[in-house]
Amino acid sequence: MKLSFVFATAISSFFVSLTTGFSFSGQAQALTFSGISSATWGNPTPGISDTNPIYTGVGSNTFTWGKVNSSSLSGLPNKLTSNGTSFAADINSVFKIADLTYFNGTVNTGSSVEFVPLNLNVSFSQPVGTSQVFDFNLRLVNTLNDPKDPEKSADLVFLDTKLSNRSFTFGSNKYTLELIGFNLDGRQISIKALEEATTTTAIYAKIKTIPEPASVLGLSLLGIYLISRKNLWNRNTGNRE
């Protein structure tokens, strides 16, 4: 059976469109994203044991939580401060999106919270030229203090990697802004601070292209088209596999 002329024409037209689509994809891969970020904290979520959560700083870049214990040397609660930064990055390259400072205060049991949202407002420069807020989540691990072991008294902050991807659109392409962790290779997703001590770090991100479903469909149709052409050639020339 010969390949239908209508089918062949449709396939040919599709591949013209597909080639154009891949051209746009190539342009997307060459795009450099630049801009500036700022950060604010959202409403926290207390843990099961946090019967009397105390916190301040929702809507600002400095968030505190916990009621200061009478044994505190500093007289300060736990505190997270996040500051935005300028950036310029290609697709799939790692870049710093914000700075984070964490102070581990001595607070009463039951007065802490377990999760706090980090809202990053990213203003992209031209040619993107838009601003968007990306909501992420940090988990706060507050440990019981052990006077004999400072390491056991250290508290931790985890980046919730399950909620670390947020999408945005530019032109005809979709992208995700992914927080990868607290170091360049993405292997460090937590930081810790000893009791009454401060840790300062950076938050790193990556921008990825979201593949269009049409690209996957195009590859499938390409396979069907090539197989059909090969079978037609074999029948017309008398060749056999």
**Residue-wise pLDDT tens digits, 127-158:** 999 999 999 999 999 999 888 898 989 999 99
Which pLDDT belongs to residue 94? 96
pLDDT at 20 over 70: no
Average pLDDT, the chain: 83
Strand order in the sheet with 55-56: 55-56, 62-65, 78-84, 94-103, 198-210, 173-181, 165-170
| Distance between start and end Cα atoms, the chain | 17
Q: Where would I find the H helices in 136-212?
A: 150-153
Which pLDDT belongs to residue 235? 61
Rounded mean pLDDT, 97-125? 96
pLDDT digits (tens, 9 = 90+) for 45-68: 999 999 999 999 999 999 999 999
**Distance between CA atoms of 66 and 113, rounded to whole angstroms?**
8
User: CA geometry: angle at 126 spanning 120 and 128, to 5°?
Assistant: 60
Q: Would you place residue 36 in the very low, low, confident or very high pLDDT band (cuts 50, 70, 90)?
A: very high
**Of 38 and 216, which is predicted with more confidence?**
38
Q: Would you place residue 93 in the very low, low, confident or very high pLDDT band (cuts 50, 70, 90)?
A: very high
Q: What percent of the chain lies above the pLDDT cut of 70?
A: 73
User: CA geometry: angle at 147 spanning 141 and 153, to 5°?
Assistant: 15
Rounded mean pLDDT, 90-114? 96
Q: Would you place residue 165 in the very low, low, confident or very high pLDDT band (cuts 50, 70, 90)?
A: confident
Which pLDDT belongs to residue 12? 46
Closest CA to 85 of 99, 72, 69: 99
Q: Would you place residue 160 in the very low, low, confident or very high pLDDT band (cuts 50, 70, 90)?
A: confident
| 92 touches 206 (CB < 8 A) | yes
The DSSP symbol for 54 reads -
Q: Where would I find the H helices in 89-168?
A: 150-153
| 79 touches 105 (CB < 8 A) | yes
